[in-house]
Amino acid sequence: MKKRYFLLFLLPAFLAVFFTLPGDRADGAAQKAGVSCSSCHADLKAVVSKTHPPVTGNNLAACLQCHAPDMGGEAKKNPFSVRIHTGHIPPKGSLDCLTCHTWTPGRSFGLIGVKGSWGAPTGEDMDLLKEIYGTLAKEEFTARLHADKGVACASCHGKALPKPDDTVENARCLTCHGPLEKLAKKTEPKDFPDRNPHKSHLGEIACTVCHKAHGPSKVYCLDCHTKFQMKIPGQAK
Protein backbone atom coordinates (compact mmCIF):
# COMPACT_ATOMS: atom_id res chain seq x y z
CA MET A 1 0.00 0.00 0.00
CA LYS A 2 2.69 2.37 1.04
CA LYS A 3 4.65 1.65 -2.09
CA ARG A 4 1.70 2.45 -4.28
CA TYR A 5 1.35 5.72 -2.57
CA PHE A 6 4.92 6.50 -3.40
CA LEU A 7 4.39 5.54 -6.92
CA LEU A 8 1.60 7.97 -7.22
CA PHE A 9 3.61 10.57 -5.52
CA LEU A 10 6.73 10.24 -7.56
CA LEU A 11 5.66 11.22 -11.01
CA PRO A 12 3.95 14.41 -10.18
CA ALA A 13 6.91 14.99 -7.94
CA PHE A 14 8.91 15.63 -11.06
CA LEU A 15 6.80 18.64 -11.42
CA ALA A 16 7.95 19.79 -8.08
CA VAL A 17 10.47 22.45 -7.43
CA PHE A 18 12.22 21.20 -4.39
CA PHE A 19 14.98 23.52 -3.90
CA THR A 20 15.02 25.01 -0.52
CA LEU A 21 12.59 23.64 1.94
CA PRO A 22 11.33 26.01 4.59
CA GLY A 23 12.15 25.19 8.17
CA ASP A 24 8.65 24.35 9.30
CA ARG A 25 8.07 21.84 6.47
CA ALA A 26 4.36 22.51 6.41
CA ASP A 27 1.91 24.34 4.32
CA GLY A 28 2.74 27.99 4.53
CA ALA A 29 0.62 31.03 4.16
CA ALA A 30 1.96 31.70 0.70
CA GLN A 31 0.68 28.35 -0.50
CA LYS A 32 -2.76 28.83 0.83
CA ALA A 33 -2.90 32.02 -1.05
CA GLY A 34 -1.85 30.12 -4.16
CA VAL A 35 0.92 31.07 -6.51
CA SER A 36 0.19 31.77 -10.10
CA CYS A 37 2.80 31.69 -12.84
CA SER A 38 1.83 35.18 -13.77
CA SER A 39 3.07 36.59 -10.50
CA CYS A 40 6.57 36.23 -12.04
CA HIS A 41 5.82 35.75 -15.70
CA ALA A 42 3.64 38.67 -16.57
CA ASP A 43 3.30 37.31 -20.05
CA LEU A 44 3.29 33.51 -20.19
CA LYS A 45 3.49 33.63 -23.97
CA ALA A 46 6.96 35.07 -23.68
CA VAL A 47 8.14 32.06 -21.71
CA VAL A 48 6.97 29.32 -24.01
CA SER A 49 8.20 28.83 -27.54
CA LYS A 50 6.81 30.66 -30.52
CA THR A 51 5.13 27.56 -31.88
CA HIS A 52 3.49 26.78 -28.54
CA PRO A 53 -0.31 26.80 -28.66
CA PRO A 54 -1.90 29.66 -26.75
CA VAL A 55 -1.89 29.27 -22.97
CA THR A 56 -5.16 29.74 -21.21
CA GLY A 57 -4.90 30.27 -17.49
CA ASN A 58 -2.12 31.48 -15.29
CA ASN A 59 -1.07 28.55 -13.15
CA LEU A 60 0.31 25.00 -13.40
CA ALA A 61 -3.13 23.56 -13.80
CA ALA A 62 -3.20 25.28 -17.14
CA CYS A 63 -0.04 23.48 -18.24
CA LEU A 64 -1.32 20.14 -17.03
CA GLN A 65 -4.28 20.27 -19.34
CA CYS A 66 -1.94 19.27 -22.14
CA HIS A 67 1.29 18.18 -20.41
CA ALA A 68 0.42 15.04 -18.51
CA PRO A 69 2.88 14.21 -15.75
CA ASP A 70 5.19 11.40 -17.00
CA MET A 71 3.11 8.63 -15.52
CA GLY A 72 4.42 5.97 -17.86
CA GLY A 73 7.88 5.73 -16.42
CA GLU A 74 9.27 4.90 -19.85
CA ALA A 75 12.46 6.35 -21.25
CA LYS A 76 11.51 9.35 -23.33
CA LYS A 77 12.95 12.66 -24.31
CA ASN A 78 12.01 16.19 -23.50
CA PRO A 79 9.26 15.63 -20.95
CA PHE A 80 7.58 18.56 -19.37
CA SER A 81 8.66 17.68 -15.84
CA VAL A 82 12.33 18.15 -16.59
CA ARG A 83 11.84 21.34 -18.50
CA ILE A 84 9.80 22.94 -15.80
CA HIS A 85 12.09 21.81 -12.97
CA THR A 86 15.37 22.80 -14.55
CA GLY A 87 13.88 26.15 -15.44
CA HIS A 88 13.03 26.96 -11.87
CA ILE A 89 15.72 25.49 -9.64
CA PRO A 90 19.38 26.56 -9.45
CA PRO A 91 21.31 27.52 -11.38
CA LYS A 92 18.60 28.94 -13.65
CA GLY A 93 16.08 29.70 -10.95
CA SER A 94 15.98 29.78 -7.18
CA LEU A 95 12.50 28.64 -6.27
CA ASP A 96 11.53 26.71 -3.20
CA CYS A 97 9.72 23.35 -3.62
CA LEU A 98 6.74 24.73 -1.82
CA THR A 99 6.39 27.62 -4.19
CA CYS A 100 4.45 25.27 -6.41
CA HIS A 101 3.82 22.21 -4.23
CA THR A 102 1.65 21.56 -1.26
CA TRP A 103 2.97 19.17 1.35
CA THR A 104 1.85 17.89 4.69
CA PRO A 105 4.64 15.61 5.91
CA GLY A 106 3.64 11.97 5.92
CA ARG A 107 0.15 12.84 4.73
CA SER A 108 -0.18 14.56 1.42
CA PHE A 109 1.63 16.07 -1.47
CA GLY A 110 0.26 18.00 -4.39
CA LEU A 111 0.32 21.09 -6.53
CA ILE A 112 -1.08 24.41 -5.57
CA GLY A 113 -4.31 25.02 -7.35
CA VAL A 114 -4.54 21.42 -8.55
CA LYS A 115 -6.89 19.03 -6.87
CA GLY A 116 -5.71 15.87 -5.16
CA SER A 117 -2.73 14.49 -3.30
CA TRP A 118 -0.20 12.21 -4.94
CA GLY A 119 1.44 10.61 -1.97
CA ALA A 120 2.69 11.05 1.54
CA PRO A 121 6.42 11.73 1.59
CA THR A 122 7.99 11.98 5.01
CA GLY A 123 10.58 14.54 5.97
CA GLU A 124 13.27 11.96 5.21
CA ASP A 125 11.87 11.32 1.75
CA MET A 126 11.81 15.01 1.07
CA ASP A 127 15.39 15.43 2.23
CA LEU A 128 16.50 12.80 -0.22
CA LEU A 129 14.49 14.27 -3.07
CA LYS A 130 15.83 17.67 -2.29
CA GLU A 131 19.37 16.36 -2.34
CA ILE A 132 18.81 14.50 -5.59
CA TYR A 133 17.19 17.46 -7.26
CA GLY A 134 20.10 19.51 -5.99
CA THR A 135 22.45 17.46 -8.14
CA LEU A 136 20.64 18.73 -11.18
CA ALA A 137 22.23 22.05 -10.40
CA LYS A 138 25.70 20.60 -10.87
CA GLU A 139 26.12 21.08 -14.55
CA GLU A 140 28.93 18.54 -14.87
CA PHE A 141 26.90 15.68 -13.37
CA THR A 142 25.31 13.07 -15.54
CA ALA A 143 21.82 13.77 -14.15
CA ARG A 144 22.08 17.31 -15.42
CA LEU A 145 23.56 16.25 -18.75
CA HIS A 146 20.47 14.09 -19.17
CA ALA A 147 18.09 16.77 -18.00
CA ASP A 148 19.61 19.25 -20.42
CA LYS A 149 18.79 16.80 -23.17
CA GLY A 150 15.29 16.54 -21.78
CA VAL A 151 15.65 13.11 -20.20
CA ALA A 152 13.49 13.02 -17.09
CA CYS A 153 13.94 11.27 -13.76
CA ALA A 154 11.41 8.61 -14.65
CA SER A 155 13.26 7.84 -17.85
CA CYS A 156 16.02 6.29 -15.78
CA HIS A 157 14.24 5.42 -12.56
CA GLY A 158 10.94 4.15 -13.85
CA LYS A 159 7.73 4.61 -11.98
CA ALA A 160 8.70 3.94 -8.39
CA LEU A 161 10.38 6.46 -6.15
CA PRO A 162 14.02 5.41 -6.01
CA LYS A 163 15.16 4.17 -2.63
CA PRO A 164 18.42 5.50 -1.21
CA ASP A 165 20.50 2.55 -2.44
CA ASP A 166 18.72 2.10 -5.75
CA THR A 167 20.56 1.96 -9.00
CA VAL A 168 19.75 2.05 -12.69
CA GLU A 169 20.05 -1.21 -14.59
CA ASN A 170 22.13 -1.45 -17.76
CA ALA A 171 19.12 -2.36 -19.89
CA ARG A 172 17.59 0.99 -19.03
CA CYS A 173 20.67 2.95 -20.13
CA LEU A 174 20.95 0.85 -23.26
CA THR A 175 17.44 1.70 -24.47
CA CYS A 176 19.00 5.00 -25.57
CA HIS A 177 22.75 4.26 -25.55
CA GLY A 178 22.72 0.70 -26.81
CA PRO A 179 23.06 -1.83 -28.10
CA LEU A 180 26.20 -2.48 -26.09
CA GLU A 181 28.21 -3.74 -29.07
CA LYS A 182 27.53 -0.52 -30.91
CA LEU A 183 28.45 1.55 -27.88
CA ALA A 184 31.64 -0.46 -27.44
CA LYS A 185 32.54 0.10 -31.06
CA LYS A 186 32.14 3.83 -30.54
CA THR A 187 34.53 3.93 -27.59
CA GLU A 188 37.13 1.54 -28.97
CA PRO A 189 40.52 3.25 -28.75
CA LYS A 190 42.33 3.29 -32.08
CA ASP A 191 45.74 2.56 -30.62
CA PHE A 192 44.80 -0.21 -28.17
CA PRO A 193 41.42 -1.71 -29.02
CA ASP A 194 41.48 -3.87 -25.91
CA ARG A 195 41.50 -0.84 -23.63
CA ASN A 196 37.82 -0.32 -24.24
CA PRO A 197 35.86 0.65 -21.11
CA HIS A 198 32.68 -0.78 -22.63
CA LYS A 199 34.31 -4.13 -23.26
CA SER A 200 36.00 -4.61 -19.93
CA HIS A 201 38.04 -7.61 -18.91
CA LEU A 202 35.85 -7.56 -15.81
CA GLY A 203 32.97 -8.87 -17.88
CA GLU A 204 29.67 -7.10 -18.35
CA ILE A 205 29.79 -4.62 -15.51
CA ALA A 206 27.13 -2.14 -14.45
CA CYS A 207 27.13 1.21 -16.27
CA THR A 208 26.83 2.83 -12.85
CA VAL A 209 30.25 1.53 -11.81
CA CYS A 210 31.66 4.54 -13.66
CA HIS A 211 28.66 6.66 -14.63
CA LYS A 212 27.15 8.30 -11.57
CA ALA A 213 24.08 10.40 -12.20
CA HIS A 214 23.95 12.36 -8.98
CA GLY A 215 27.64 12.58 -8.20
CA PRO A 216 30.90 12.86 -10.12
CA SER A 217 31.49 10.05 -12.61
CA LYS A 218 34.81 8.28 -12.46
CA VAL A 219 36.70 5.89 -14.74
CA TYR A 220 36.95 2.71 -12.65
CA CYS A 221 39.75 1.37 -14.88
CA LEU A 222 42.07 4.06 -13.54
CA ASP A 223 41.97 2.62 -10.02
CA CYS A 224 44.39 -0.04 -11.24
CA HIS A 225 45.54 1.12 -14.67
CA THR A 226 46.99 4.31 -13.31
CA LYS A 227 48.78 5.20 -16.52
CA PHE A 228 45.81 5.02 -18.87
CA GLN A 229 44.53 8.27 -20.36
CA MET A 230 40.76 8.08 -20.12
CA LYS A 231 37.99 10.60 -19.72
CA ILE A 232 34.32 10.31 -18.90
CA PRO A 233 31.42 12.72 -19.25
CA GLY A 234 30.17 13.89 -15.89
CA GLN A 235 33.50 13.70 -14.09
CA ALA A 236 34.34 16.10 -11.28
CA LYS A 237 35.51 19.46 -12.47
Partner 1 sequence: MIKKLPAKWDETWDVVIVGSGFAGLAAAAEAAGKGAKVVVLEKMPTYGGNSIINGGVYAAWDSKYHYRQKLNLGDDSPRQHVEDTLKGGDFYNIPELVQIMADGAADALNWMIDEGGARVRETVTRAGGHTAYRTHSAVAGVGREYTEALRKIAEKRGAKTALNSEVTWIWRKDADPKSPVLGVQVKRGRRTLNIKAAKALILASGGFSRDIKMRMAHNPRLVPAFGCTNQPGATGEMIRFAQAIGADTLQMNFIQLYPFAEPETSILDTPAVYPFNGPGYGIVYVNKLGKRFVNELERRDVCAFAQINLGANMKPTWSIFNRAMVLKMGGSYEEVDAGLKKGRFIQADSIREMAGKLGIPADALVKTIEDHNRYIEQGKDPDFNKSITKVMIPLVEGPFYSVAQWPAVHHCMGGVRISPTAQVIDVFGAVIPKLYAAGEVAGGVHGSNRLGSNAIPDAVSFGRVAGTNAARERA
Which chain residues interact with partner 1 by CB under 8 A?
164-167, 191-192, 194, 201-203, 205-206, 208-209, 220, 223-227
Nearer to partner 1, 74 or 131 (CB): 131
15 burial (CB, 10 Å; 0-12 / 13-18 / 19+) is buried
Residue 41: CB partners within 8 Å, gap ≥ 6? 47
Q: How far is the CB of 123 from partner 1 (least distance, A)?
A: 16
Helix or strand (DSSP H, E) at 130:
helix 123-135
Nearer to partner 1, 61 or 132 (CB): 132
Nearer to partner 1, 167 or 235 (CB): 167
Nearer to partner 1, 32 or 192 (CB): 192
Q: How far is the CB of 201 from partner 1 (least distance, A)?
A: 6
- DSSP-derived letter for residue 112 is T
Nearer to partner 1, 43 or 165 (CB): 165
Give 115-170 as a DSSP string.
Answer: -S------HHHHHHHHHHHHHTT-TTSHHHHHHHTTB-HHHHH-SSPPPTT----H
Residue of 10, 62, 9, 58 lying closest to 37 (CA atoms) = 58
Q: How far is the CB of 63 from partner 1 (least distance, A)?
A: 34
